[in-house]
Every structure is written in structure tokens, then in C-alpha cells.
């Protein structure tokens, strides 16, 4: 569904992504894990159109999207829930959600979609008139995901949805992501919490220093020694291989 | 000094303040959403005034009726300016954007001013209607119909804008873009379209202010800068996050100027505005109406 080929992204003279290639197939949950500063957020932002790549291609359902405008990308069903929620703080929960349905396709169905969002997040229904800036982190994350869902995504990208949230709330959020995936929405997720992410994932990529250094099924990577030492908190045993490649 | 004189000056201060307010809201809208300071805003006001003047002089159209033409005309002109010029400036980032937007809009002031001088000469133009002198007299204070109409029109315009921004989908999209354009773009809002529309609205408000100015003060090619500066003082006082807050602050400035002119001296009218400007920058730089 989504194909990224040899993507090179730079901020001015600083090259951040080096020939990154990945695939996301329809219906999958694909996860990107890796350390801070590896370029995972840059990758999502570039796919969403906030950043223009220096070279490389991004295609969504065989149509190139790396040169079209951001609202066209959303129209085609690719929606990013950005890092840090990025809600419109001065506006109410309901207004934030409604603004997610700007495109014609989404606006037509917005009443049904809103009902669906309130089903997924009953807490938001209670607080629909509340100013978004006054919500807790977890509630804000729900609004951010809800807002993205209002746009009727076919591929939903989430950038660190667990960031700054209590473990219980994180589990709720991840449960919702699983529900969304079951409804047929393809998911591309960037997560710091590697364990939770790999549990959820069908497939995962490991991003380090702007490159993809490994990939595999979620369960495979959970068992991988490098992943276990670098991202899952296991101490290396003597004799164990601790690099993904030499 | 009699109470009548004070009241008279204060009332006239509020009348002129309503024009400050309309001009400022237009500038605040563009600045708040596009994050571009259009130094040529005063020239758009000036052009609005000329539209009214010529419609009156050549076709005998009442200046207040000419609003029906000057507002859409300046709206369209604003769309054109965004499409041709400002669209390229907004794409820049940070310091480059600020510098270029100032440079570009300053260039625009020169072009517009000189175009007007070429076309219409540098003479000052005014509009005098049959009812220009008439008015009410309330407790010894003269209230000309023209000034009261200006105030009412300004209030209606600002209220309409408020309803538009608060209640309509497009209005909310504009506010969202002003708050966080990246998040708005990620939500699927077409930022280009929002910028285009907002610039047009800002120009339309400038045009409206220009019409009102032509009735009360008169227009000349050089009035632009003074009005831009006035608008700028008002938006800094109100706080750059507050678009509609610029209107009451405009009234406040008008009143403050009138009172200082009355009590300190006519030469000090302008000074009070600038002193307030400095005080706000020093003591409450986020502006009077900024949210915590």
C-alpha cells in the first residue's frame, strides 16, 4: 500500500535519512523502533508531506505522493497523528474533531465518523465542549487520534502515541489502535516503547542513525538479541551476538 | 474646561478608534494567520478610500453604499496579491520569512503609492455629502450622523467577523491555522486556500476602513504608513494572538488619544499611543488580551 524507496531527507545541510526504503501492506500494523534522533519522526513527517525529500520516492497505492500538497495526501487517505498531539488548544474537543474532517469525502460522513470516534473514546463524548488545552495528556492523545480518524484514513500513521502517558493510558491507546486496525485501517506506528510496539506489530523496522538496520515480524524481533539489548532492556550474556549486522 | 468639551473629544476619540479597530483587525488577521506583517496594509486602506471617492465623484454613489463595492473590490485585490506575491513569502521559514515579508510589503507600499500618485495626483481628496454636517445633539455633545454610522458599520463588521470565525467551519479552520499551521495541514486543511482567503479578508477590512476614513478624514496617496503604524500599535497592545481583541483596543487608543489631547495638549495626542506601546512591551509584552 505504501512504498518508500531510497528516501534521502536533509534539514539544510544536515542529512537525516539515508536511502530509507520500507513497505507497508494493506491491513498491516507496521512499527518503527529505534533510538531518539534516529530519524523516525522525520520519516513520518516526510511521508505526510511536511518535509520534501532530497531524493527517493514515496508511493501510496501506486501513486507518487512525495511531491503533492499535504491536503491532497490526506484526501488520499494518509493521515498522520503527529508527535506531541498538536491539538488546537483554544478550541473545544468537538471543534478539534470536526476540523479533522476538512476534506469533502470526510465532511460528508462526519456525523457517522463522529459517532464512531465517541464509541472508541467515550470519555471524549463527555468532554466534547471542553477546551482542548485543559485535557490531560491521555485525553489529548485520544482527541489527536480521533481527529485523524475523522479524516477517514486508509493508512494511519502515529508518531509516539505513548509519549508522556501513564502506562494504563498507553494500554488503552494501544487497544484502540488494535481496534482501528481490525476495522481495516492500515497502521504505521513509531514508538519509543519497543516492547509494546513489537507486541502490537505485524512487522517492524529498526531505524538507527537515519538508516533501516533491520526488519522482521514483531515476534521475530522480540526474540532478536540486538533488539533485546538495545531496546528491551536485557543485559548481554557472554558469548551472545549483540549486533544485528557487522 | 467644560464637561461638554471633554465628552465631545472623548466621543470623537471613540469614533476614530472604531476606524483604528477595523484597520487593526485586518492587519491582525493577516499577521495571526499567515505570520506575515503586511506593511502595505495602510495602502490597501488608502485604495479603499479612493474607490469610494471616485464612485462618489464620478457616479454619485453614497460613500456608505460604496462599501458594497469597495469591500469586494479590495477582497479580490487581496486575493490577487496573495496569489502573486505573498504566496511565495509564506513558504519561507523563520528569519528569512520575516525579512522578506517586510521587504516585499514595503516594496508594495512604494508601488501602490506611486501608482496612485500617477493616476490621481497627490492631492488630498475628501467626500462631502449633503448630510455631512447634520447630527444629533445629546447633552451638548454633537454626534454627527456620519460618525455614528461609521461606528455602527464598524461594530457590525467586527461582530460578523467574530461569528464567522467562531461558528463557521471555514472560520474555525482559519483559527486552527493561526494556532498551529502544521497540525492544520496534517488534519487535511488546505493551508494555501486558508492563506488566500485570509489575506483577502484582511484586505477587505482595510478597504472598509479606507471608505470610512474617506468620509471622516479624506484620502491622499501618503496616508498609508500612518494607518499601518496605528494598526500595528493596536495589535501589539492587544496581543498578537488576539485578532478580534484589536477592535476594543482600537477604541481604547482612540479614547486615550482624545483624552490626552484634551488634558495635556493637542501635540501630545500621538505620543500617548506610543507611550502605551512601550509600556505594554516592557510590562506585558504578550499584550493586554493574550491568554495566559
Strand partners, A3: A23, A59
Testing the interface with A: which of B96, B168, B186, B195 to mutate, by most A Cβ within 10 A? B186
Q: Is residue B289 part of a domain?
A: no
pTM for the structure as a whole? 0.91
What are A66-84's pLDDT values in tens digits?
999 999 999 999 999 999 9
Nearest to B188 among A86, A90, A103 (CB): A103
Residue in chain B nearest A69 by alpha carbon = B190
Residue in chain A nearest B180 by alpha carbon = A88
Cα–Cα separations (whole angstroms), residue A66 to A110, A168, A189 = 28, 37, 19
**CATH code (residue B170):** 1.10.3470
Q: What pLDDT does B292 receive?
A: 46
Q: Is residue B291 part of a domain?
A: no
What integer is the mean pLDDT of B221-245?
A: 90
Q: Would you call A209 helix, strand, or coil by DSSP?
A: coil
What integer is the mean pLDDT of A12-30?
A: 93
Provide the ipTM: 0.89
What are B142-201's pLDDT values in tens digits?
888 889 999 999 999 999 999 999 999 999 999 999 999 999 999 999 999 999 999 999
Q: Is residue B13 part of a domain?
A: yes
Q: What pLDDT does B182 receive?
A: 93
CB contact under 8 A, A106 and B188: yes
What mean pLDDT is reported for chain B? 91
A246 pLDDT tier (thresholds 50, 70, 90): very low
B55 pLDDT tier (thresholds 50, 70, 90): very high
- Rounded to whole angstroms, the Cα distance separating B166 from B63 reads 30
What integer is the mean pLDDT of B9-16?
A: 92
What are A220-238's pLDDT values in tens digits?
888 888 888 888 887 766 6
Q: What pLDDT does A139 receive?
A: 93
Residue showing cell 476594543? B248
Q: Is residue B292 part of a domain?
A: no
Cα-Cα-Cα-Cα dihedral sign, residues A4, B186, A99, B156: negative
Any CB–CB contact under 8 A between B244 and chain A? no
Residue in chain A nearest B174 by alpha carbon = A99
Nearest to B180 among A86, A98, A101 (CB): A86
Find the domain containing B162 and state its range.
Answer: 3-283
Q: Give the number of domains in chain B.
A: 1
Q: Is the pLDDT of residue A190 over 60?
A: yes
Residue in chain A nearest B188 by alpha carbon = A71
Any CB–CB contact under 8 A between A106 and chain B? yes
A-B interface: how many C-beta pairs under 8 angstroms? 70
- For residue B92, give every residue at least 6 positions away whose Cβ sits within 8 Å of its Cβ, in sequence order, or none: B100
CB contact under 8 A, B186 and A48: yes
Q: Is residue B241 part of a domain?
A: yes
CB contact under 8 A, B186 and A80: yes
Cα-Cα-Cα-Cα dihedral sign, residues B94, B98, B101, B107: negative
Q: What pLDDT does B291 receive?
A: 59
CB contact under 8 A, B175 and A71: no
Q: CA torsion, points A79, A85, A87, A92, in degrees to nearest 10?
A: 110
Nearest Cα to A110, choosing from A96, A100, A123?
Answer: A100
CB contact under 8 A, B173 and A79: no
Q: Is residue B172 part of a domain?
A: yes
Between the two ends of chain A, the Cα-to-Cα distance in Å is 31
Amino acid at each position: 500500500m505504501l512504498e518508500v524507496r531510497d528516501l534521502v531527507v536533509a534539514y539544510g545541510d544536515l542529512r537525516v535519512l539515508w536511502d530509507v526504503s520500507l513497505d507497508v501492506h494493506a491491513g498491516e500494523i507496521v512499527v518503527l523502533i529505534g533510538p531518539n534522533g534516529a530519524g523516525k519522526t522525520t520519516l513520518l513527517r516526510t511521508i505526510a508531506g511536511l518535509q520534501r525529500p532530497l531524493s527517493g520516492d514515496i508511493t501510496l497505492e501506486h501513486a507518487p505522493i512525495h511531491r503533492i500538497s499535504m491536503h491532497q495526501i490526506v484526501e488520499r487517505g494518509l493521515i498522520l497523528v503527529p508527535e506531541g498531539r498538536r491539538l488546537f488548544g483554544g478550541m473545544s474537543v468537538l471543534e478539534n474533531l470536526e476540523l479533522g474532517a476538512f476534506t469533502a469525502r470526510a465532511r460528508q460522513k462526519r456525523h457517522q465518523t463522529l459517532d464512531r470516534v465517541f464509541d472508541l473514546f467515550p470519555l471524549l463524548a463527555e468532554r466534547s465542549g471542553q477546551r482542548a488545552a485543559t485535557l490531560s495528556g491521555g485525553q489529548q492523545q485520544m482527541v489527536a487520534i480521533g481527529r485523524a480518524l475523522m479524516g477517514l484514513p486508509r493508512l494511519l500513521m502515529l508518531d509516539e502515541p505513548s509519549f508522556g502517558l501513564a502506562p494504563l493510558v498507553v494500554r488503552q491507546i494501544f487497544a484502540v489502535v488494535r481496534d482501528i486496525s481490525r476495522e481495516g485501517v492500515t497502521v504505521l506506528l513509531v514508538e519509543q516503547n519497543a516492547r509494546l510496539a513489537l507486541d502490537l506489530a505485524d512487522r517492524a523496522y529498526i531505524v538507527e542513525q537515519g538508516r533501516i538496520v533491520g526488519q522482521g515480524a514483531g515476534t521475530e524481533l522480540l526474540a532478536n538479541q540486538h533488539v533485546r539489548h538495545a531496546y528491551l532492556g536485557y543485559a548481554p550474556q557472554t558469548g551472545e551476538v549483540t549486533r544485528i549486522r557487522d | 474646561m467644560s464637561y461638554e468639551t471633554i465628552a465631545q473629544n472623548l466621543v470623537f476619540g471613540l469614533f476614530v478608534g472604531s476606524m483604528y479597530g477595523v484597520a487593526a483587525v485586518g492587519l491582525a488577521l493577516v499577521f495571526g494567520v499567515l505570520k506575515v506583517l503586511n506593511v502595505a496594509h495602510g495602502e490597501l486602506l488608502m485604495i479603499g478610500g479612493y474607490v469610494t471617492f471616485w464612485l462618489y465623484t464620478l457616479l454619485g454613489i453614497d460613500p456608505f453604499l460604496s462599501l458594497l463595492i469597495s469591500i469586494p473590490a479590495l477582497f479580490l485585490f487581496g486575493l490577487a496579491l496573495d496569489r502573486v506575491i505573498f504566496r511565495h513569502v509564506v513558504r519561507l521559514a523563520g528569519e528569512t520569512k520575516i525579512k522578506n515579508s517586510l521587504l516585499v510589503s514595503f516594496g508594495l507600499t512604494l508601488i501602490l503609492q506611486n501608482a496612485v500618485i500617477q493616476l490621481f495626483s497627490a492631492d488630498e481628496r475628501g467626500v462631502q455629502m449633503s448630510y455631512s454636517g447634520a447630527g444629533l445633539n445629546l447633552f451638548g455633545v454633537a454626534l454627527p450622523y456620519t460618525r455614528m454610522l461609521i461606528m455602527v458599520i464598524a461594530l457590525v463588521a467586527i461582530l460578523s467577523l467574530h461569528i464567522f470565525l467562531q461558528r463557521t467551519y471555514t472560520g474555525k479552520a482559519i483559527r486552527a491555522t493561526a494556532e498551529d499551521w502544521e497540525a492544520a495541514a496534517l488534519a487535511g486543511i488546505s493551508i494555501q486556500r486558508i492563506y488566500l482567503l485570509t489575506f483577502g479578508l484582511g484586505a477587505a477590512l482595510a478597504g472598509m476602513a479606507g471608505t470610512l476614513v474617506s468620509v471622516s478624514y479624506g484620502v491622499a496617496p501618503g496616508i498609508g504608513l500612518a494607518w499601518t503604524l496605528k494598526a500595528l500599535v493596536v495589535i501589539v497592545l492587544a496581543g498578537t494572538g488576539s485578532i478580534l481583541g484589536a477592535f476594543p483596543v482600537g477604541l481604547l487608543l482612540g479614547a486615550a488619544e482624545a483624552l490626552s489631547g484634551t488634558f495635556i495638549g493637542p501635540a501630545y495626542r500621538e505620543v500617548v499611543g506610543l507611550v502605551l506601546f512601550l509600556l505594554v512591551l516592557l510590562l506585558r509584552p504578550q499584550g493586554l488580551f493574550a491568554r495566559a
